Structure 1
Amino acid sequence: MGMPDAEGHGPPDGLPDLPPEWGRVVVPDDASALADEARQLRRELRRVRRRAGWRRRLGLTPRPDGRPPLGLPMLALVVSIMVTLTGLAAVTWPRSIRSGASPTVVPYPTAIPGPVGPLPALDLVDAENSPVPLRSLLPAMIVLVDACACAEQVTEAAAAAPPAVTVVTVTEGREVETSEIPGVRPLADPAGGLRAYLHLAAQPGVATALLVDRDGTLVRVVPELGPAEAYRDDLARLAT
């Protein structure tokens, strides 16, 4: 039997020696007095069993040979795959257009925008090298003919233009190409301001037309001047 404690109490009859750090052990006469401690002990045992079960399922328990559990590298691999898939989904997921906003449209390389805003206040020159303010010609149909005289198309445009609309042919440089087409005023653009404003390079065999209203707004760009039926209605609107 065990030795008595400091207060002279020894271990209960029939019990082996108990560790001294346990202190005084009192066994109640009624076992129901230990019901709360029993419930707490059962909860703790269940918690330990559940934790051990999940560790076994995930392969996190140490292996008999002492090597690290297989579940750890598998878990790291799964986490890395999920992070990668989440990043890819965030990049490739289609985004909805905000209310009131227009979608971003990448223009075709040879396409030219329609209304591009007010035309700059440029000065052209005539055959005598005298300055001619561009805005003094409005409303106007301005045909860039430095890459193509396109006399047939210019003649058709002049015939389709209302009397209030000035038809102007423009070449780059200071040399004005004379024109015998009735109703057409030939001018030159020494600084190349019109093409620079439009970011438009000359293409051999192609004449480009600009339709400008009386307020100086470039309402339409005709990339390649063709039959008048393609722009006749726009010409009529310029005169109003």
Structure 2
Amino acid sequence: MGKADADGPGLPDLPPEWGRVVVPDDAAALADEAEQVRRELCGRAAGHARRWRPSALPVLALLLAVVATVAGLAAATWPRAGRSPGPTTGTGDPAPIRLTGRPLPALDLVDGGQSPVPLRALVPTVVLLVDGCACPERVAEAATAAPAGVSVVTVAAARPRAAPAGTEVRALADPAGGLRDFLHLPARPDTVTALLADRTGRVVLVVPEVDSLADYQAELARLAG
């Protein structure tokens, strides 16, 4: 049988509202009560879990949306290596920007007798590419404005074009098209391209389409310095 209850010796004082408490001699006698308590606790835990899951879903969805947004922004703004722009093959303006300060290519032009003339031996120089247009007025104004010591050179495609009368212009040709390849500028009808290089052989200015001497007159004047 059980020991003395809350009123007997050996037990701490218990709240009177608990009523009469009997402690059995055999703990197995409490098995049924323990099983009932476990069922009640499991039921309460399941209820808490059911109440938690719906409230957690919006938070989880928001977290996933934030992660996806950050990943998309990182992919859009991350710099991509190895994708440098290729050379411009049209008449766009980027070519002069890329070429300014670069050395002239080590290529040979040819004169009227098909003798080679190194391009770098002509500096300081203004080279007028006249394979798209003879344009004698453009050549004549360059020859008139060029300072002493600055060579004025015309370059045609297959063979040299005759220089305007009364000018000291060296007429050469570039049958291999090496200079056009260097400039990344194809010949255009009725258009002259100007290339200015200083005495060190560095490109000072490239004018893809010359409209008048004013396009390069200031740089031409400084070549003699």
Q: TM-score, normalised by structure 1?
A: 0.66
Question: What is residue 28 of structure 1 aligned with on the other side?
Answer: none
Of 79, 92, 99, 1:110 maps to 92
* CA distance, structure 1, for counterparts of residue 137 and residue 91 of structure 2: 27
Q: Which amino acid in the other structure matches residue 2 of structure 1?
A: G
Q: Which amino acid in the other structure matches residue 2 of structure 2?
A: G
* CA distance, structure 2, for counterparts of residue 74 and residue 109 of structure 1: 56
Q: Which has the bigger relative contact order, CA under 8 A and spacing at least 6?
A: 2
Q: Are 1:161 and 2:149 matched, yes or no? A: no
* CA distance, structure 1, for counterparts of residue 221 and residue 11 of structure 2: 118
Question: What is residue 54 of structure 2 aligned with on the other side?
Answer: 70
Runs of 4+, deviation exceeding 6 Å: none
Which runs of structure 2 are paired with 1:178-197 in the superposition (5 Å)? 178-181=162-165, 182-197=167-182
Q: Look up the SS of the partner of 2:128 in the other structure.
A: strand
Which structure has greater helix proportion? 2
Of 197, 206, 209, 1:224 maps to 209
Q: Are 1:148 and 2:133 matched, yes or no? A: yes
* CA distance, structure 1, for counterparts of residue 202 and residue 140 of structure 2: 24
Q: Shift in Å at residue 236 of structure 1?
A: 1.4
- Closer/same/farther in 2, CA of residues 125 and 109 from structure 1, 3 Å limit: closer
Q: Shift in Å at residue 82 of structure 1?
A: 1.1
Q: Look up the SS of the partner of 2:96 in the other structure.
A: coil
- Closer/same/farther in 2, CA of residues 20 and 169 from structure 1, 3 Å limit: same
Of 7, 13, 23, 1:17 maps to 23
* CA distance, structure 1, for counterparts of residue 121 and residue 204 of structure 2: 17
| CA displacement 1:175-218 (0-9 Å, x = unmatched) | 22222341211100122111111222222221110001111111
Q: How much identity, in percent, do the aligned residues show?
A: 42
Which runs of structure 2 are paired with 1:37-48 in the superposition (5 Å)? none
* CA distance, structure 2, for counterparts of residue 211 and residue 109 of structure 1: 18
Of 113, 116, 124, 1:139 maps to 124
- Closer/same/farther in 2, CA of residues 147 and 109 from structure 1, 3 Å limit: closer
Q: Look up the SS of the partner of 2:63 in the other structure.
A: helix
* Structure 1: 5+ residue stretches without partners: 5-9, 22-51, 96-103
| CA displacement 1:103-140 (0-9 Å, x = unmatched) | x9xx9970122414110121110111111111222111
Residues 3 and 11 in structure 1, CA contact (< 8 A), matched pair in contact too = no
Q: Shift in Å at residue 17 of structure 1?
A: 2.3
Q: Shift in Å at residue 94 of structure 1?
A: 10
Q: Are 1:87 and 2:71 matched, yes or no? A: yes
* CA distance, structure 1, for counterparts of residue 73 and residue 178 of structure 2: 47
- Cα RMSD between the aligned structures? 3.4
Q: Shift in Å at residue 153 of structure 1?
A: 1.3
Question: What is residue 156 of structure 2 aligned with on the other side?
Answer: 171
| CA displacement 1:6-33 (0-9 Å, x = unmatched) | xxxx974953226739xxxxxxxxxxxx
Question: What is residue 36 of structure 2 aligned with on the other side?
Answer: none
Q: TM-score, normalised by structure 2?
A: 0.70
